[in-house]
Amino acid sequence: MKKLLSLLLALGVVCSLAGCAGSNDGSQSDASQSSSASASGSQTDGSQADGSQTDVQVMSYEEYMAAELDAQVTIEAYVQAKQSWWEDKATVYAQDEDGAYFLYNMVCSQEDYDKLVPGTCIRVTGYKTEWSGEVEIIDGTFEIVEGDTFVAEPLDVTSLLGTEELINHQNQLVDFKGLTVVAAGQDDAGNDVPFLYNWDGSGTQGDDLYFNVSVGDQTYTFTVESYLCDSSTEVYKAVEALEIGQVIDAQGFLYWYEGVNPHITSITVVE
């Protein structure tokens, strides 16, 4: 009887231990699954949050032009020229295969400004605005996009002068052919002069240059922007040497100020 009782007790203990062991395994398995699910859920949520913060909708040129003024915009384009850098703000001419952009006062360190060589692709987020007819992006931030480079070939827009179509090429690198230099104003003695320092002649060497050219019976004012091409550049010196009646070809960026007012970067006297 004692042996039987002992055997029964032993069997009871074994069963009890087996039941406890099974119960512990189940708890560990449930906890492990719960922990795994929780960790997996946290990683997924974090990934989604990161994605929502970093995903940026880059506009095409068409979408950018269709955007309302004062809207925040994001574009990708290629640096064509740098106009100026001052107090961590940069002004840049940029272009892609479809259109061009004037980027005014982007946040930019001197170190990053030095990296903005022609052809560099940048992604810019800022605000679309208009000033006296010039559509531009102001107060932007940017990042350099590694990969392809692009330097635009100038588009000959001579035949578009005086047409409504010309503004569709605003800020692009363009050519003008067969322009005749006409008087830009008069000096103190009343003699006609081919260029002025500042728009009204109030400046001195080193300031912007303004000169007038005619095509047919229309006259247009072109500018050498001194921040873009200062008095040490070939184009600045070439304009200072112009004579009324000369025929020239000119190249520059199709800037706008109360009408077409190109920022000229080179000229060639052809006659």
* Domains of the chain, each with CATH number or no CATH: 61-144 (2.40.50.140), 155-269 (2.40.50.140)
pLDDT band at 54 (very low <50, low <70, confident <90, very high): low
pLDDT band at 71 (very low <50, low <70, confident <90, very high): very high
Position of tokens 């559509």?
Answer: 135
The Cα 240–Cα 207 span in angstroms is 12
Give the three-state DSSP class for 258: coil
H-run or E-run covering 25: helix 2-54
The Cα 80–Cα 116 span in angstroms is 9
Over 90: is that where the pLDDT of 242 sits? yes
Query: DSSP code of 168?
Result: G
pLDDT of residue 56: 81
* The model's pTM: 0.79
Token code pair at residue 70: 């004062």
> Mean pLDDT over residues 34-50, rounded?
34
Query: DSSP code of 251?
Result: E
Over 70: is that where the pLDDT of 28 sits? no
pLDDT of residue 198: 98
**pLDDT tens-digit profile of 145-154?**
999 999 999 9
Kind of pairing between the strands at 209-215 and 173-182: antiparallel
Closest CA to 252 of 191, 169, 137: 169
Contact predicate 100/94, CB 8 Å? yes
pLDDT band at 249 (very low <50, low <70, confident <90, very high): very high
